[in-house]
Amino acid sequence: MAIDVLDRDSFRKLFEENYNLLCNYINTHARDWELSEEIAQKTFVKLWEKRKEITFSTSARSYLFQSARNTLIDHYRSHKSASAHAEKYADDLGGSDEMVFDDDHQILVTQRIAWAVDQLKPKTREIFLLNKQEGLTYDEIADYLEISKRTVEYNMKIALLQLKELLKGKI
């Protein structure tokens, strides 16, 4: 399927022809329809945002499916990482190795982290989320935002220091 994703009409056609297929494909792996829709939407958003940089070595459909698969993997990695960080934080507070978070506690921890992230300055928050949620490297963030890698490093340092301070005693 040759497609010029720079063109809105072509992109819209690609979306209409592939959105449901992509959701179904993701759902075979995720077994969660809402998550499948979220991943499909993120995949199309990324494609639109990077449309000027992307050259397809395969068909656009193949690219979409591979991109969606990678986005789903990134999603699971970030959630696994959040759980690991929460458990490590509990250990640092004196919890035992057998300590296991129940779903309610995990939701509370997630809400508090989200609140703390919302307290960051907009640019710092954007850089932090591009790294932690989207899995972009510092170099990729610098290219994407058209800023220096040093600025990305500085903002990540500030974000982590502020989050540590904001979350102290709250988790």
Residues 71 and 141 reside in one and the same domain: no
Section 2-9 average pLDDT: 67
Per-residue pLDDT band at 127 (split at 50, 70, 90): very high
**Closest-CA residue to 25 (of 76, 75, 66, 56):** 66
Residues 7 and 48 reside in one and the same domain: yes
Residues 1 and 72 reside in one and the same domain: yes
**Closest-CA residue to 44 (of 75, 11, 85):** 11
pTM: 0.47
- Report if residue 93 sits inside a domain: no
CATH number, domain with residue 42: 1.10.1740.10
Share the mean pLDDT of the chain: 81
Query: Quick one: residue 72, left, alpha or beta (phi over 0 = left, psi -120 to 50 = alpha)?
Result: alpha
Domain span including residue 118: 101-171
Per-residue pLDDT band at 110 (split at 50, 70, 90): confident
Q: Which one has a higher pLDDT value, 30 or 131?
A: 131
pLDDT digits (tens, 9 = 90+) for 53-101: 887 777 888 888 888 988 888 887 776 655 555 555 555 444 444 444 5
Section 41-64 average pLDDT: 85
